[in-house]
Amino acid sequence: MTRRALVTNLRLAGDLARRDLQAKYRRSSIGLFWLVLTPLGLLGIYSLVFGQVFGVQWQAPHLAGQASFGFVLPFFVGLAVYLTISDIVNSSTTLFVSKRTYVVKSPFPLWVLLAANLLRASAHAGVLMALAIGLAVLQWKLSLSGLPWMITGLFVCSMFLCGLSLLLAAIGPFIGDISEAMRLLLRVLFYATPITYPLSLVPLPYRDWMWLNPMTCMVELLRNPVVFGIMPPLSVLLWFGGFSVLLLALGGWVFSRVKGVISDVV
């Protein structure tokens, strides 16, 4: 592919992503404001139930429980990760089936649809991350020492999400039940991930097993620098970073193997 063709396809992906966003909120009176209102509404509901009724609080892991960080900010970082993963998983499993007309008739390569979907999801994720950083600033929690680790965490998480999207989009047209299976799995993982509760509340015999959950890694990779201003566990950063690279390579390999026949099965 020439450089000019690559630039043209990337611009097309951007146009498709913008079109998808506009189409989703076209009939809404407040439009894109739902990108902000929805997560804030969820934040209010969960803060009332878990923060006020159940009294869940986070303690700074590096201060041995001497400082409380409340519920709102640590929870919202986890919620932002969960909503981003849910968006990418649900859209990727049905991507080529839902875009059947493009798959069958359009002359551009299939990866343009993947790129467009990731760009659209990135817009959602960007709003969520901006809200999380805004909350951290308002609560005087965001520190300069945490910013490099936040950027590192975002990079590693982005690799993982790209690989996951590639893999799910590639196998989605061939496995009809994968969409419902992933929705069920996401519901389970919401409570199996330290989103509404701190990891320190998990009994020690089970705490190490929770690190095998990729969502736990993503939440803690971003929560530690954004909320506590500290480096995430180095062992987690290394193993999850390596796993993300492998997943990206696997997703790319599977997609390259099946892209020629996807138009025949959608």
Residue 32 has what pLDDT? 81
Q: In 3-state terms, the chain is what percent helix, strand and coil (to 5)?
A: 80, 0, 20
- Closest-CA residue to 226 (of 75, 38, 39): 75
Residue 62's pLDDT is what? Answer: 62
DSSP assignment of 124-174 equals HHHHHHHHHHHHHHHTT---GGGHHHHHHHHHHHHHHHHHHHHHHHHHGGG
Residue (of 135, 129, 128, 142) closest to 224 by Cα position: 142
Q: What is the largest CA-CA distance in the chain?
A: 62
Which residue numbers in the chain have pLDDT < 50? Answer: none
pLDDT reported for residue 64: 57
Cα separation, 189 vs 83, in Å, equals 12
Reading the block at residue 185, the tokens are 């799995």
Q: Give the CA dihedral 229, 224, 47, 215, nearest 10 degrees.
A: 160
Q: What is the DSSP letter of 85?
A: H
C-alpha dihedral, 250 to 255 to 258 to 263, nearest 10°: 160
Are 171 and 254 a contacting pair, CB within 8 Å?
Answer: yes
Question: How much is the pLDDT for 144?
Answer: 85
What's the CA angle centered on 217, arms 213 and 223, to 5 degrees?
140
Instruction: Taking the CA atoms of 33, 36, 39 and 40 in sequence, report the sign of the dihedral they define.
Output: negative
Task: Give per-residue pLDDT as tens, 98-156.
Answer: 999 889 887 889 999 999 999 999 999 999 999 999 999 998 888 888 899 999 999 99
Q: Phi and psi (nearest 5°) for 177?
A: -90, 0
Given this model, what pLDDT does residue 67 score? 63
pLDDT for 6 equals: 85
What is the structure's pLDDT at 241?
Answer: 96
The predicted structure's pLDDT at residue 134? 95
